[in-house]
Every structure is written in C-alpha cells, then in structure tokens.
Amino acid sequence: MILGRLPGLKMDRASVALGGAVVLLALGELDQAAAIATIDFGTLGMLFGLMLVSVQLQTAGLYAALSGLVARIQASQVMLLGLLIALVGVLSAFLTNDVVAVAMTSVVLAIALRRGMNPVPFLLAIALAANAGSVATIIGSPQNMLIAQRLDLSFSGYLVYALVPALLSLLVVWAVLALIYRGRWALQPGDAPQPDALPDPSFDRWETIKGLLVLLFFLYSFVFTEWDRGMVATVGGVLMLFNARFMARPMLERVDWDLLILFVGLFIVNGAFAKAGLATDLVTWLRTMGIDLQDSGVLFAVTAVLSDITSNVPTVMLLLPFAGQDPLAGPLMALASGLASNLIIIGSLANIIVVDAAAAKGLKISFWSFAKVGLPVSAVTLAIAYLWVRLVVAY
C-alpha cells in the first residue's frame, strides 16, 4: 500500500488488496462465509449508487457546463479561481470527488489555455478543493461513507463538526493559491502547449434534472429517515441505468471499479487481521510506546500522517476498529483523512488525476510544486478542523 504497487509487477493498490484477500482465503485464515461477513455491503452500496448518480450528471454534461460557465466569466484570475474552488467544493461534498476531478479537469485546462491563462493554479484548485469540499458531508468521499456506516454517524450530526472546517478550508485553498501564484497568472508564450478542442458542450437538461432529483432524494432519506443508506443509494443509482438516452454499458464503464475492488479486498484483509487478534496486540504495543489510538486526538494525528503514506481508504480501514466509544473519533478521522490528502500528489486520486492531465499537455506539476501549495493548505486546514471540533464540544 505504501508503494502503491508490488515491485517488479504492474499491480496497483486494488489488485494488491484483492491478492491479499485471495491468499488469506486460500490459506484458510478465513472461510468463505467469514470473508463475506467482513464485507460492509452498506458502504459498497452507498459508494456504488453515488458513483452512478455522479456518472449520470457527468454524461448529461452538467460538470462540463458548470466548469465552462465559471471559466468563461469575464473577471480577474483571482476571482475566477475563487469561483472554481467554490464550485468544485460544493460538487465534491455531495458527489464522488474523484469523478468531479475527472469531469472538470479537461474542460478547465482547455479553456485556460485558450484564454492564455496559466492553467496550473486552476488545476491545483480542482484537486485541493475536491479534497477539502469532500470532508463536508458523510457522502463526500469513500472513507467518509465507511466511517459513517461503521460508527453510525448521522448526516446532520456530522455536518455540525465538518461544515465550517470544509468552508474555511476552501477559503484557505483560495488564499494560498492566490498568494503563491500572484503575478504568474499568464501562460508564458514559450511554454504554451496547443489547447485541445473544447469538450462537447451538449447539455441534457432532463437527464440532469433526473440525476439531481435522485441526489436530493438521497439527502432527504439520509437526514429524515431511518432507511438503509446503502440500499437507498444502490436502488437510486441503478435507476440511472434505466435510461432511454444513455447506454447503460458506457455508464457502468465509468464506475470506479478499482475502488470497489480495493474496498472488498481490504474488508477481508482487515477482517482476518482482527480475527487473528493482531489489532488488540497492536493497540497494546502502541500504548507501551505512549500512543493511545483510542484517544481521539492521537487518532486524528495518526490518520493524517498515514493517509499520505498508505492512502486514505486503507488508513481509515486499518484505524476504524480503534475508534472506541469517543463520539469525536469518527468526525476527526474523516476530517483528518480528507484534509491531509492535500499534502502531496499521492495523497488522493483526485490529485493524481489532475497532475496526469497536466502532464499529458506537457505541463509538469512536480512533487515539490504541488507540496509547496499542499503543505501550508494541509497544515492550516488540519489545525482549523481540530480546533473547531474541540470548540463545538466545549460549547
């Protein structure tokens, strides 16, 4: 997980997790029934359903239309940057942030090049705002869904802890980018790649309305009912496939199956880890080292650090069993795993998506150039999140 692959093999984290699960089953560490029991189908259902709704809106052209609208506004580059950050942050709070990054990057990149603007700060804004905005709700990111399911967090209850840190984090992203790139908003002629043709501007109003109505139904059911979230999301997502305008197969192909496989593999591996008693042994050993994972403050710090080493989803899966009875553990883990993702390129898939898109156009965003922005953003936003949660508790 730390390397993101197995040396000498062309494997990614999803295939590594799946391979680990299969090896454990083959060795008899878990039987099939026990392995299935470790899988949280509610979390998978929420993730799958929201992916399909997000794909529906992407296919209908909503993301392209909104990002194009913002990029075409005649305003200063600093103002455009703020509008883009706000848009990405709001979308990422309610839809899968990785899909938002995929859908908007190509449009913003093409329009920035055509207008002679330096696209790098705008591309970084997409990645950083997608991560920061996603912490606002329990459906903003895969790890948030997992934490909410396992710790039974309510939508509105979590919002009390996360909304203000998310909004302030978006403001921090805008301020840091505006400061670092001041005076460097224009693309230098010698470095300007040839802009691609703008994506197809077609916008399907009816299909967009249908997707948004389903999303609103999700939010209503999550807030005001006790219905099973995974089942609600799965049913709503699958309804998007009953479509007279879009083919179901291309929509299914856009689902992030690698992420779903990663979840399944890690569920099984972590189930075997707990069954063997290793989780208890780890807690005992760490306590002797002065690290109590059942302290929510310690858990917050460990989650933030590990999220940039092993990635946020594996980190959350590993640490969730140690959340204990502290009601702050869930919100703090979600905030830490999401906001720490802005530190370095490999902190989240959204970061990698944006950097790869820039590289494809000959615009290199180096590890250091990303970290130069990500380090202050992560440090400040993590501090804000922790202090806000403690303030809410105090009052």
pLDDT at 173 over 90: yes
DSSP 176: H
CB 380 within 8 A of CB 141: no
Contacts 24+ apart (CB under 8 A), 70-73: 71/107, 71/108, 71/111, 71/112, 71/115, 71/122, 72/111
Is the per-residue pLDDT at 195 higher than 60? no
The answer to whether 313 and 106 are in contact (CB under 8 A) is no
Q: Say whether pLDDT at 196 is over 80.
A: no
Distance from C-alpha of 143 to C-alpha of 165, rounded to nearest angstrom:
17
- b or e along 123-155 (b: 16 or more beta carbons within 10 Å of the residue's beta carbon)? bbbbbbbbbbbbbbbbbbbbbbbbbbbbbebeb
Pairwise CA distance, residues 58 & 99, whole Å = 8
Nearest to 87 by CA among 64, 110, 121: 64
Dihedral pair phi/psi, residue 365, rounded to 5°: -105, 100
pLDDT classification of 389: cutoffs 50, 70, 90: very high
For 186, the 3-state DSSP assignment is: strand
What was the pLDDT predicted at 209? 93
* Mean pLDDT within 33-40: 89
Average pLDDT of 238-264?
A: 89
Q: Which residue has the higher pLDDT, 212 or 280?
A: 212
> Which of the pair, 321 or 159, is modelled with greater confidence?
159
pLDDT band of residue 197 (cuts 50, 70, 90) is low
pLDDT per residue as tens digits for the range 126-160: 999 999 999 999 999 889 999 998 898 999 999 99
Q: For residue 5, is it left (φ>0), alpha (ψ between -120 and 50) or beta?
A: beta
pTM score: 0.86
pLDDT tens for 334-374 read: 999 999 999 988 888 888 888 888 887 778 888 888 999 99
Could you tell me what percent of the chain has a pLDDT over 70?
Answer: 95
Report whether 67 contacts 104 (CB < 8 A): yes
Q: Is residue 76 pLDDT above 90, yes or no? A: no
Can you give the pLDDT at residue 89? 95
Q: Which pLDDT belongs to residue 364? A: 83
The two tokens of residue 71 are 């990029």
Query: 3-class DSSP state for residue 203?
Result: coil
As a whole number, mean pLDDT of residues 218-225 equals 90
Is the pLDDT confidence value at 93 over 90? yes
Q: Quick one: pLDDT at residue 121? A: 92
Is the distance from CB of 236 to CB of 218 less than 8 angstroms? yes
- Say how far apart CA 144 and CA 126 lie, in whole Å: 19
Look at residue 72 in the predicted model and tell me its pLDDT.
72
Q: Which residue has the higher pLDDT, 70 or 33?
A: 33
C-alpha 4/C-alpha 16 separation (Å) is 8
User: H-type helices in 95-202, by residue range?
Assistant: 97-114, 119-134, 142-151, 155-180
* Cross-strand pairs, 186: 117
pLDDT of residue 201: 56
**pLDDT on residue 258:** 87
The average pLDDT across 200-206 equals 76
pLDDT band at 285 (very low <50, low <70, confident <90, very high): confident
* Whether the Cβ atoms of residue 38 and residue 79 lie closer than 8 Å to each other: no
Amino acid at 252: L
